[in-house]
Structure 1
Amino acid sequence: MAIQHPSPALRAPASSRPYPMAHPGYGKRSAPDQQPRSGHDFMLLPLRERSIAGFIDHLPDGAAMDVKGLARQLPLYGQQAVGSALKALSVAGHLRRVRCLVSGAGGQVRWVFRTFWSRTARDNEWWAHLVGAEREQSAIAGPVGVEPSVVEPSAVEPVVVRPVTPVVPRQRAQEPAPPASDGRSPAYAALARLGRVDARLALSAADCAVLEPLAAEWFARGVDADYLVRALAAGLPAQVDSPVGFVRRRLTDKIPPHPPAVPQPPAAGAPVRLVMMECTKCGAPGRAEALPDGLCRPCRLPGDEEPLADLPAERDVRTYVAGLRDLLKAP
């Protein structure tokens, strides 16, 4: 008697032609740390999902993963069945769709759409960690994951965005100003100018030498001599009994804050990385925490959607149409 050997991971018949590949940087991406293939893969899935999962698992990295492309290679299932199966595989922890914003030569920026696949079922925390690792991955030259070879494109076309030029706010130079011609520091020279701006702030040479370190701290925070003099001489009282004490107090109390750090623009040719997960069914982008099982709330809980307004019954429609006819007959 013949002995049957069931295989839980069913596979669709292999196509006679090579499976279409996605654009470079798109398509299937195998997740790390997967278990070796075995006859028990996808055993807990229904027959349709088990068959499609086995087919996807044997696809090479970079293969097209759009619904239309998969349906063309799976003659037993249409696009709607494939879409439903991908949603079920996402809930089961085998699949996540991710979009990544990358930039290449010439400053062009585009979205790259990838489908991460794991033969081993993973939970939401594991997938969130994977997306975070992709986001924090060190930058490399050129668009991420783009090979130089040209392959057959998939049905998903890249979205090309206008080149983005980083806008860097202007900031005062933080380098110390050059010393004065007489060998004095800019801080000392600015303090010596106070008496010429307003006689109430006249300082001696010894006073300027004592206050020089406090004034130098202002220059270290990005201000110049004109700013320092205006700040110290503004709003003076009618009489200043001790110019050195008054200026010391203002140097301490009115010292400007440290300038904020300005993010450096990316070097020429360096990629701009922005990675986020998207809903497996509708493609809505979002954070991994907001897309448990890889699905947004409307796709995950259809019953929680806002109910549509009640449609009129058939008899109400007939009554309404009859009323319209009566109005047309009226003189």
Structure 2
Amino acid sequence: MGDEDPHADPDFAHLLPRDAEVAVFIDHLENGHAMGHKVLAQEHPRYRQQAMRTSLNRLTEAGHLRWIKEHITVEDNSMRWVTRTYWSRTRRSPEWWANFARERRGRDVTQDYRPGLARTEDPVPHPAPEAEATQDEPTPDQPSAAYRTLAGLRAADPRMPLSEADCRSLEPLAAQWLSRGATPNDITRALTDGLPPTVSNPGGFARTRLEAKMPPYKSDTAVDTAPSRPLRARVTRAIMACASCDQDERTVKIDRGICEDCRKESAENPVTDEDITKDIAEIAHLGITSAHFLKLKLERRRTGGPVPDTFRPVPIEDLVMYHYRDNRDRIANGLPPRRWNW
């Protein structure tokens, strides 16, 4: 944040020791660094996933972190939601964060290449004057022009009834057509002219034609001399999201960056580092000591006698350790261990 206080020793003195250590670690990360608790746990020398997840929640409640979902609109009329994590070394009030989210609306993010922000890889031939924003704010369910064109094929020709999954899958290709100067009618004609009597796989047929008939970029004298540029993109909406479950304020109430359900669950089922260590040790003991007996049981049931591991696709001990590692990771993420039916 541009108005942060300068670095000082008591920056995080109000936090618990572990949370303060995690805060210093985050404060020295580069802009755009992934902020998932699993990623941070892999890089932090001392704390693992559950400890990191707990500290991130506490830092959020203390006013240092916020997860914000931003609706991005690109000038080719494609839209998407992205979740961004914002960090402030200076602790902020909930009102400050709410105002920060409101001010994100309208921001130009065309040149922001940090992970998570939407941008278009394909350049357009030459810069176009920025158009005034005259349309209302799009809703999350509003389809793009490319999607609407694909969905309209069913009406243009009954032999091309694309499904919802087909339209979503082919939307990037259709958007690429539009970015190269094609019109929706051009796409419709390319996908419906000269169809065979029966189209058994409309989605695959449309993909083949869209790729094979992709139009070139418009070329003229101005295009040859003008540098390419990415499509312009801007934030058209910004809403708060829960730091723990990623639900946003459209469906849940967010209080100090955490939704009520996650706050209640955390209060009812607190998980300490000691609990995690104990559970992992118990699973390891059960997995290792039961491997031999499980091996004998399966051999007697299926073959009537011992079978060398060289005759198996996977040794029994490896199978047991796989399930052990799976449950170890589940517990580290605050999930109950999974029961396995042998």
TM-score, scaled to structure 1? 0.44
CA radius of gyration, larger in: 1
Higher helix residue share: 2
TM-score, scaled to structure 2? 0.42
